Structure 1
Amino acid sequence: MSYWVNESVFYHIYPIGFCGAPRVNDGETVCRLDKVIDWIPHLKSMSINAIYFGPVFKSTVHGYDTDDYRVIDNRLGTNESFKHICDELHKNGIKVVLDGVFNHVGRNFWAFKDVCEKGNSSQYCGWFQNLNFGGKSPYGDSFSYEGWHGYYDLVKLNLKNPDVKNYLLDSVGMWMDEFKIDGLRLDAADCVDPDFFKALRHYTKSKDSNFWLMGEIIHGDYNRWANPEMLDSVTNYECYKGIYSSHNDKNYFEIAHSLNRQFANGGIYRSIYTYNFVDNHDVNRVASVVRNSANLENIYTTMYCMPGVPSIYYGSEWGIKGEKNNTDYDYPLRPELNVSDIQDNALLAHIRKLGKARTSTEALKYGSFENVQIRNEQLIFKRSVDSQTAYVALNLADNNMDMGFNADGAYLVDKLSGKSYQVNNGYVNIDIPAHSSRILVTSNTPTLEDVELEETKAETAPVAETEKKEEPVLPAWGTLGKHRHFKGGEYEVIALAKHSETMEDLVIYRELFGEGKVWARPASMFYQMVNIDGNLVPRFKFIG
């Protein structure tokens, strides 16, 4: 796994749409993609340090019908103009990842055109899958061939042919050597011959050990493609669906299950640093999918804080909409945008905070994963490294929520709001505003803001030494034995437990007098201060 990917926040651009290029290549060369340089300040304001460009190689229509792997599409510019773009991005600390469409080519691909012209005398007949001169194609050719998923404008390559493999590897080498690209996203990776991926990995890693290979995988076991012999990463479509669906259905159990299945101790994808997203050039914009736009911020918090690398699809950072339809198909998902279109709204401000939180928090970049507490409308999970733990708390309810859980550290500091919470004997109670989230990082000190607030209180309301009251102390987290309720009843804590469905911490205790009944109470209530006549006292006090 490439170290730089762990440190990254991606921005995904579909160039032909982003640039407003003609839908069908008109042959005119216009350096439209140069405008991405004007976007660099905007990208850096979100802590973006890697761009995944959709297809940039010369094509006839949408970019996935490649005409030439070694030339920039003339609708976007020239090789020279794109080299300048790469240089400027690299100078600004932004990595460049290109779309490698190696499963198929367009009908105007130079080698396929040679077959069309020369028939079975073409030296390139062996370059294409299931080419047969005993029939005709839907386009009226004097031969048949395999089209990707039945689309005959996408001609499937024969990746077992050594000449094809060498041509593609040499093309990748050109982009690495001359443009210093940092990685490839492999289109339709589930259809590509695994031996080609093995060759691609060996070739690229021998040139640059940090070169990143990420495959587009929609279904199946990600380990088939992301492993030490093939790719570094894959698109995480399972969590893409789980994130928006959990928020739409008010059911955090769905995404919590996927995250646990994938990344918890024993998770099936713990060794894969997945490419995470909430929309892209092939699926409806998340702002069009989410039923309540108030949940967009939580959707992005989930994506930024889960294991793997987060990615923003261009324009979605300020909430633009777009849905497929039967007339324009995918084009509404791929609009032309200019710097002047950027809207500096609340969602963009939140995403900027998320970028800073992720890039400055080791636990979010490298940490293990564990669900802490799950409810239909609330979720808390934690990410941990040796030196730090981050607790991610989400609330999609229409009302504020108070939640408690056992936690590390002396304080938890919210990376989004700056608010801090004191951890009392290994337990903390937090508030989460409606449709909001907190990224709570362990700290030995409260925030400066809270320190200044306490100093102000001390100056405005001085207390004589003789009038100072002893600070109430909560019982230590996990302490068994006798406790006295603030109303006077005495109980014995006999065990701690986990709710089997929500993972919520429970305290199991029994009456010491009366019928000796056994009770279970959420730990968030047991380890809680209550206000009695203006004084804060523990709900339960340890008495031995």
Structure 2
Amino acid sequence: MASWIDRAIFYHLYPLGLLDAPKRDDWGDGLEHRLPGLQPWIPHLVSIGCNAVYLGPVFSSVSHGYDTTDYVEVDPRLGDREDLRGFVLASHEQGVHVIFDGVFNHVGRAFFAFRDLQEHGEESAYRDWFVDVQFGRQSPAGDPFTYYAYEGNFDMPTLNLQHPDVRQHLFDAVRTWFSEYWADGIRIDAVEKLDKEFLREICSVARGANPDCWLMGEVLSSDYREWTQPGLLDSCTNYEVAKGLPSSFNDRNLFEIAHSLKRQFGPEGIYRDRLLYSFMDNHDLNRVASTIQRPEDLASLYTVLYTIPGVPSVYYGSEWGLEGVKDGASDDGLRAAMVLPEDIGTMPQPWLPDHLAKLALIRQESDAIRLGAYAELHVASEQFAFRRDVEGDIAVVVVNAWNDPKDVEFGIDLADGTTLVDRLDEATTVTVEAGRIRVGMSPNTTRILTAARNS
């Protein structure tokens, strides 16, 4: 596990969208140096407490970046090698780690080996680089052969990861990401489609290139333990929380997220020894501001996200409550072009960046929040409380998702007379009496209670 990850708070950038790159580049229409436009975002993300970047696809492709055509050359719609190195170097200089997006299951049709297959047919030296190539039948894309396409999308032929030359090609690319671009880790796409032995090998290659790298996989629905065994990934995307957290607030049913968190991280939790990647939106999911039914829930949603076990992440633009939804099969609405606003008062939720910065500071100052065990203390339809603690450090998070004030009372294993201070409003304190605390909650608010310094 990377030495820096327990303090990491990620900011997810999708450069092709944010930088307003053309949607397609079928013919290599020329080099545009857009990547330097990311550099002003570094001090911004630092200002809201983020210290790591998950950088969406930046290597050559034809469309959305997940149809790779070259694993080491930067997409000419974004820039060149120097532009990417410049972004990573500038990030490192400001204390920000950068992980790349790695797409190993499939490539784009403009990938050199697939083009050779189109040109030379059955005589191609690369015909075995792809899964289930069959001549004598026409593909939906018009090729005189068929092949296995990723999720039926014939713009993305599936690589044969059993082929030693395919593996070597990908391994060499990963080594280049670390040696020439100074990456700090990789988010691996479509992990559930990968052969485990290939995954084990590419993880080994990455750790050999950078022993302090962090390897996180996109896992949609399977058991995260399957992919985080020794020698495999360090972490997975926690889609259960990504979907369940907003859903719980929308339905006013906090039992839903409480059940998930207890199942995942409680005393008998199946992931209690894993540090999963926590988020509520990304380049594939509707933005959280569009998912929720009430904007007043945003503060509590992010407070929970930052205080549950895991590594929290913010998707670019969502720190201002930017909205965005899928339009049929198109994800363009999730991947908007943006420039940093000169006047944040024009943004949908201009108060939210300061809230995130405060959450980040609280998180960094609390070993309990970053590293502590998780235990549920109280749950009702519209109230929820949980505890994080490690080696005497404690944090208690209390949520009121009701439209009215509410006193939330529950038992707690602390000495009578112990005083807890709300880190979000330090004028508010509660004291343990007879093994219980009563927390006065305003409508639609959350408190983060930690032990007072003199208690």
The 1:218/1:112 distance shift into structure 2, 3 A limit, reads same
1:198 deviation in Å? 0.5
CA contact (8 A) 1:407 1:428 kept: no
Is it true that 1:171 corresponds to 2:161 in the alignment? no
TM-score w.r.t. structure 1 length? 0.80
1:235 deviation in Å? 0.6
1:46 deviation in Å? 1.1
Matches for 1:11-410 after TM superposition, within 5 Å = 11-25=11-25, 27-326=29-328, 329-340=330-341, 343=344, 345-405=350-410, 406-408=412-414, 410=418
Give the letter aligned to residue 376 of structure 2: N
**Could you list the per-position Cα deviations for residues 326-360 of structure 1 after superposition, in whole angstroms to 9, with x for gaps in the alignment?**
3x711011001111267351222211211111122
Give the letter aligned to residue 191 of structure 1: K
Among 446, 450, 454, the alignment partner of 1:437 is 446
Partner Cα separation in structure 1 for residue 136 and residue 369 of structure 2: 57
Partner Cα separation in structure 1 for residue 252 and residue 448 of structure 2: 20
1:224 deviation in Å? 1.1
**Could you list the per-position Cα deviations for residues 191-246 of structure 1 after superposition, in whole angstroms to 9, with x for gaps in the alignment?**
01111110012112223222111111111111111221211111111111110010
The 1:342/1:98 distance shift into structure 2, 3 A limit, reads farther
Name stretches of at least 5 consecutive residues in structure 2 with no aligned partner. Answer: none
1:33 deviation in Å? 1.8
- Greater Cα offset, 114-123 or 424-433: 424-433
Partner Cα separation in structure 2 for residue 61 and residue 407 of structure 1: 55
1:412 aligned partner: 420
CA contact (8 A) 2:174 2:205 kept: no
Partner Cα separation in structure 2 for residue 387 and residue 8 of structure 1: 22
TM-score w.r.t. structure 2 length? 0.95
CA contact (8 A) 1:315 1:342 kept: no
The 1:217/1:341 distance shift into structure 2, 3 A limit, reads farther
1:372 deviation in Å? 0.3
CA contact (8 A) 1:318 1:342 kept: no
CA contact (8 A) 1:47 1:359 kept: no
**Could you list the per-position Cα deviations for residues 480-509 of structure 1 after superposition, in whole angstroms to 9, with x for gaps in the alignment?**
xxxxxxxxxxxxxxxxxxxxxxxxxxxxxx
Give the letter aligned to residue 344 of structure 2: Q
**Could you list the per-position Cα deviations for residues 411-453 of structure 1 after superposition, in whole angstroms to 9, with x for gaps in the alignment?**
212221123323345432221211111111123427xxxxxxx
In terms of Rg, which structure is larger?
Answer: 1
CA contact (8 A) 2:179 2:209 kept: no
1:27 deviation in Å? 2.2
Corresponding residue pairs, total = 445
Matches for 1:466-485 after TM superposition, within 5 Å = none
Is it true that 1:4 corresponds to 2:9 in the alignment? no
Partner Cα separation in structure 2 for residue 408 and residue 194 of structure 1: 45
Partner Cα separation in structure 2 for residue 217 and residue 298 of structure 1: 26
Give the letter aligned to residue 425 of structure 2: S
- Greater Cα offset, 252-261 or 300-309: 300-309
Partner Cα separation in structure 2 for residue 3 and residue 408 of structure 1: 32
Give the letter aligned to residue 438 of structure 2: N
Query: Could you list the runs of 4 or more consecutive aligned residues of structure 1 that deviate by over 6 angstroms after TM superposition?
Result: none
Name stretches of at least 5 consecutive residues in structure 1 with no aligned partner. Answer: 447-544
Give the letter aligned to residue 443 of structure 1: A
Partner Cα separation in structure 1 for residue 94 and residue 280 of structure 2: 26
Partner Cα separation in structure 2 for residue 333 and residue 216 of structure 1: 18
Q: Which has the higher strand share?
A: 1
More relative contact order, 1 or 2 (CA 8 Å, 6+ apart): 2
